[in-house]
Amino acid sequence: MDALVERLRAGLPAAAVLTDPDVTASYAHDMASFCDAGTPAVVVLPRTVEEVQHVMRTATALRVPVVPQGARTGLSGAANATDGCVVLSLVKMDRILEISPVDRIAVVEPGVVNATLSRAVGEHGLYYPPDPSSWETCTIGGNIGTASGGLCCVKYGVTAEYVLGLQVVLADGRLLDTGRRTAKGVAGYDLTRLFVGAEGTLGIVVKAVLALRPQPPRQLVLAAEFPSAATACDAVCRIMERGHTPSLLELMDRTTVRAVNAMAGMGLPESTEALLLCAFDTPDPAADLAAVGELCTAAGATEVVPAEDTAESELLLQARRLSLPALETVKPATMIDDVCVPRSRLGAMLEGTAAVAEKYGLTIGVCAHAGDGNTHPVVCFDHTDPDESGRARASFDEIMALGLALGGTITGEHGVGVLKKEWLARELGEVGVELQRAVKAAFDPLGLLNPGKLF
């Protein structure tokens, strides 16, 4: 370790190399439960591309694993340390390098916080759509690493659709530029997309070229109460089948609604079994909400209430953003699943999750990006109770199995990390895993980048 620290300090400011065990321990893991985390040898906080290159050259020379990190808001253990590793925290590389209204791009470093970028481009009349629930704290580098989504995915898509180009430091310290700044480009293999969602296992993203859109009108939100998850999901299917394109279509089950009220006093209707939020940012959102309201009523909604103004709409959106933090207060620990199914199977997914909760005697709240079938069942449990912890793990696995059986995927936006390694192999199959491991070996032949993740 002395040799490692000495060589790192030769190319980094002293303040950028952290060795105090109490400090380094705080960088050992992200926000996921049931994920092993090791003890890092050292934490480094570079500010420049050259400093990141120095870290990787040093790690390669000494054969030391490197775990890249952003804000550690991840929910799959992808940022968890391994024993004796260098934790490479990129939060100090937080500059917005360029915003171009003509080209509709932003060029940023990986430590830029999502909300910071959104507000900065908004000053130019532009819009960066991907908005994870943790957008006030999560970083663009982390968003790229996990291919994150957000509330707006139903209309605007996920992070991968906005990453035009990357600058990446490879395992041996070489610098790779991928992609483009242009609106179109098909030269060679799409290496940019390969890095999006790779969870830091192929290289260290040090710069990103991101696509922007013109800022849309302020959205208005409608809230619809339903007597069951099945009727709410029927409304989702009707909305999409009729060709509507809401800017947001979110669902909160009864458990989630009550948790949000208990934590924040939001005054949401606790008698409902499912609360559906639908928003439009069209030129005439009131007309679109009226049409969707009729569809909700036809599907069985007991109450349909459109927001009167943007302030009321923001209050409803804040309630949805508080869903995961609120469910974390129900019990001392949570396991947050991330199963995405075809929209047509969303009702079956929620009904199956409720059956799993009853089978294992657990509280499982569900919030969902209903418009794209991405559900977040949150298993609430007492981690100090071995029996309850075991039931929580079993229920988590059963929910993932249910998602695959319904034609879905084990993760829509949170990534695989440590938490879902076994399930990734089940989803991809033997040939798929073999080819993905070959890709990993091509970029990182020594296996130093974020080892133990994905496979």
Nearby residues of 93 by Cβ (< 8 Å), 6 or more positions away: 46, 47, 48, 52, 109, 110, 111, 141, 206
**pLDDT confidence of residue 33:** 76
Whether 133 has a pLDDT exceeding 90, the answer reads no
Sign of CA dihedral 319, 323, 324, 328: positive
- Where in 233-288 does DSSP place strands (E)? 248-253, 274-280
What's the Cα-to-Cα distance from 128 to each of 157, 211, 247, 351, rounded to whole Å? 11, 7, 13, 34
pLDDT of 126 > 80? The answer is yes
Question: pLDDT tens-digit profile of 176-235?
Answer: 999 999 999 999 999 999 999 999 999 999 999 999 999 999 999 999 999 999 999 999
Query: What SS3 string covers 66-102?
Result: EEEECCCCCCCCCCCCCCCCEEEECCCCCCEEEEECC
Assign 387 a pLDDT band (cuts: 50, 70, 90). very high
Structure confidence at residue 34 (pLDDT):
79
Q: Residue type at 406?
A: L
Tell me, what DSSP letter sits at residue 218? P
pTM of the full predicted structure? 0.94
Strands 213-214 and 175-179: unpaired
Confidence at residue 48, expressed as pLDDT on a 0 to 100 scale: 98
Residue carrying structure tokens 């759509």: 129
In order of 108, 422, 434, the CA distances from 427 in angstroms are 33, 9, 13
Which pLDDT does position 355 carry in this prediction? 97
225-283 pLDDT per residue, tens: 999 999 999 999 999 999 999 999 999 999 999 999 999 999 999 999 999 999 999 99
pLDDT mean over 42-53: 98
pLDDT of residue 237: 97
Measured CA to CA in angstroms, residue 349 lies from 151, 256, 422, 428 at distances of 19, 16, 21, 21
Whole-number pLDDT of residue 360: 98
Average pLDDT, the chain: 96
| Closest by CA position to 358, among listed 311, 329, 330, 399 | 399
**Chain position carrying tokens 């949170």:** 414
pLDDT digits (tens, 9 = 90+) for 5-33: 999 999 999 999 999 999 999 999 999 87
The residue type found at 347 is G
In this prediction, residue 90 carries a pLDDT of 98
b/e code 200-210 from CB counts within 10 Å (16+ = b)? bbbbbbbbbbb
SS3 content of the chain, % helix, strand, coil (to 5): 40, 20, 40
User: Which residues in 297-329 are b (16+ Cβ under 10 Å) and which e?
Assistant: eebebeebbbbeeeeebeebbebbbbbbebbbe
Cβ(330)–Cβ(393) below 8 Å: no
Summarize pLDDT for 233-245 with one digit per residue, the tens: 999 999 999 999 9
164: left (phi over 0), alpha (psi -120 to 50) or beta: alpha
Residues 301-323 have a mean pLDDT of 93
Please report the pLDDT score of residue 303 as a whole number.
97
Query: Residue 198's pLDDT is what?
Result: 98
Who wins on pLDDT, 407 or 34?
407
Residue 161 clears pLDDT 80, i.e. is over it: yes
Residue 455: pLDDT above 90?
no
pLDDT above 90 for 86: yes
pLDDT tens digits along 345-375: 999 999 999 999 999 999 999 999 999 999 9
Sorted by where each starts, the structural domains of the chain and their CATH numbers stand as: 2-89 (3.30.43.10), 96-214 (3.30.465.10), 220-405 (3.40.462.40)
> Token pair of 142, please?
């982390």
Q: Is there a contact between 163 and 179 (Cβ–Cβ < 8 Å)?
A: yes
Q: 274 has which bridge partners? A: 226, 253
Let me know if 251 is exposed, middle or buried by CB neighbors in 10 A (0-12, 13-18, 19+).
buried
Q: Alpha-carbon distance 175 to 180, whole Å?
A: 15
Structure token pair of residue 52: 């990141």
What DSSP state is assigned to residue 189?
A: S
Q: 86-89 and 66-69 as β-strands: parallel, antiparallel, unpaired?
A: parallel
